[in-house]
Amino acid sequence: MDTNRGLRLSDPIARVPVADARSKRPPVERRPSAKSGSSDSALFLSEGVTGLNVGAHFLDRLSSDERTRIVEAGRTMMVPQGSAVFSQGDAHDGIFIIRRGQVRVYYTAPSGREVTLAYWTPGHFIGGPEISGGGVHMWSGIAMEPCEITALPGASLERLLAEMPNFALALIDGLVAKGKCYSSMAQMLGTRSVIERLAQHLLNLAELHGVPDGETVLINRKITHDQIAAMVGSTRQWVTMMLKRFQAKRIIAIEGAGIRIKRVDLLETMLSKD
């Protein structure tokens, strides 16, 4: 499964009219959780968008001087789009703090199938769980766009933790956020059907990147079927089939490289069924 291409809906699907004469609902209201079209929000499988970026603020409790000290203790990595930040099975040593760009973290099964754990953005750290080093990476991280990253080796990290109590508390905050992220993913995979996960993922994308347009919401973000499949824990073929079905029911419309949500209420209904 190739999920590392640019985010675009590349699979050809028959288009349907945008206007839905049956829908008399009031204009869709969206909470201002993120700037439309912004790539600054993290994304992982969850019941909603609340809390996606809590981990991006783990260093907020530090002073400017303390943050500078952390950067100076590490090394700056400029990672081109499509290049690995770290790879599953490689020796583990420290953490990586994202300063610019977006990193997709994913697990590759022995079969070769990939499951996306999250898309992480500036302020988040990646490279756990062995934060001080030892063992091997349990998953991989790849730059989805050009990234600037501070790599903090295990030895430097341990020294800073001993010398800077505030940093130790900040890292605990970051680990708590990571724990909630992967707990959310496990809960979704264990308690929600794949079609419910797809519906929720589309709603989350609409919440984060949606542009209201009358009674519809256009997801202002390019994404492939492979990437959706890796996020919801399915296959590209199944995602393609379900998006076609959603189109036939006029729940969504595929418009070039974008997805228009025409019936938010029907996606929400899929989540409320017993």
Summarised one tens digit per residue, pLDDT across range 78-129 is 999 999 999 999 999 999 999 999 999 999 999 999 999 999 999 999 998 8
**How far apart are the C-alpha atoms of 139 and 141, rounded to whole Å?**
7
- pLDDT score of 58 more than 80: yes
3-state secondary structure of 77: strand
Provide CB contacts within 8 A for 237, sequence distance 6+: none
**Residue 222's pLDDT is what?**
85
Instruction: Judge contact between 239 and 225, C-beta under 8 A.
Output: yes
**How far apart are the C-alpha atoms of 36 and 22, rounded to whole Å?**
27
Express as a percent the part of the chain with pLDDT over 90. 76
- pLDDT score of 13 more than 60: no
Whether the CA torsion 204, 207, 211, 213 is positive or negative: it is positive
Mean pLDDT of the chain: 85
- pLDDT score of 238 more than 70: yes
**Residue 39's pLDDT is what?**
55
How much is the average pLDDT of 51-65? 94
**Residue 28's pLDDT is what?**
38
| CATH for the stretch 54-190 | 2.60.120.10
Binned at pLDDT 50, 70 and 90, residue 221 comes out as confident
Single-letter code of the amino acid located at 154: G
171 or 3, higher pLDDT: 171
**Residue 9's pLDDT is what?**
34
- pLDDT score of 256 more than 90: no
> Closest Cα partner for 5 from 232, 259, 237, 225?
225
**How far apart are the C-alpha atoms of 47 and 243, rounded to whole Å?**
20
- pTM to 2 decimal places: 0.83
How much is the average pLDDT of 241-257? 92
**How far apart are the C-alpha atoms of 125 and 254, rounded to whole Å?**
34
**Residue 125's pLDDT is what?**
96
Q: Containing H/E element for 66?
A: helix 64-73
Distances (CA, A) of 187 to 47, 191, 201, 229, 238: 9, 6, 14, 17, 21
**Residue 3's pLDDT is what?**
40
How much is the average pLDDT of 143-155? 96
Helix 194-209 to helix 165-191 angle, to the nearest 10 degrees?
A: 130
How much is the average pLDDT of 188-197? 96
**How far apart are the C-alpha atoms of 236 and 219, rounded to whole Å?**
19
Q: Tokens for 123?
A: 């302020």
